[in-house]
Structure 1
Amino acid sequence: MRIRQVGFSSRLKAHRKLLTLETLKFIVEYLKDGNARMAAFRSGVPENYASKQGQWLKKHPIVLAAMEAEVDERDMLKLEKSLAEIERHMESCKEILGLQDF
């Protein structure tokens, strides 16, 4: 019996409606200037992979839906503030669980 490994396209289908912290960071950065490579880099993707990851994320259904939304300066400030708050909570959780090195 052969076990089939889940491929890249299957993972994309499985996660197309899942908003991750990394995707949220990319959306916020991409809304600033529309540059996928720089948005990926600023959201934490290593420079070597930023271009490829940025192009992939730009096609993600959640990112496409976010780009259709009309976001003004006030909304951008709210997004940035909310993202900073999420990151603070993540750091707090890491501290509680002893995962500071991850």
Structure 2
Amino acid sequence: MRIRQVGFSSRLKAHRKILTLETLKFIVEFLKDRDARMAALRSGVPENYASRQGAWLKKHAIVLAALEADVDEREQLKLEKALAEIEKQMDICKEILNLQDF
């Protein structure tokens, strides 16, 4: 029996439907001022790649779907608070697993 390995392009297609922490950070930051480059910078993308990554993320299927939602100021604050809580929990997990350097 032969096992078929999933190719790189198949993984990219599957990734389009997954909300990652990095993508969530970008969405929250992009909603502030609709500037893809600045949102990428604020979400942790290095300055060298911020323009390219911001433009790419802005076209990402999950980002487009999120931007179609009508998010008001109150919902924006809830998103920012939820993101801060997620980051706090990630730090706790890193500490438990001794991964502070990653």
Q: TM-score, normalised by structure 1?
A: 0.90
| 2:23 partner letter | T
How far 1:10 sits from its partner (Å)?
A: 4.1
| 1:1-102 aligned within 5 A | 6-7=7-8, 9-102=9-102
May I ask how many residue pairs the two structures share in their alignment?
Answer: 98
What CA distance in whole angstroms lies between the structure 2 residues aligned with 1:5 and 1:23?
23
Unaligned 5+ runs, structure 1: none
What CA distance in whole angstroms lies between the structure 2 residues aligned with 1:47 and 1:54?
11
| 1:75 partner letter | E
Report the secondary structure of 1:47's partner residue. Answer: coil
Q: CA RMSD in A?
A: 1.5
Q: Percent identity?
A: 78
How far 1:13 sits from its partner (Å)?
A: 1.0
What CA distance in whole angstroms lies between the structure 1 residues aligned with 2:11 and 2:33?
28
Give CA deviations for 1:34-72 in whole Å, capped at 9, x if unaligned. 000000000000000000000000000100001100000
What CA distance in whole angstroms lies between the structure 2 residues aligned with 1:69 and 1:40?
20
Report the secondary structure of 2:100's partner residue. Answer: coil
How far 1:14 sits from its partner (Å)?
A: 2.0
What CA distance in whole angstroms lies between the structure 1 residues aligned with 2:98 and 2:69?
38
How far 1:12 sits from its partner (Å)?
A: 2.9
| 1:12 partner letter | L
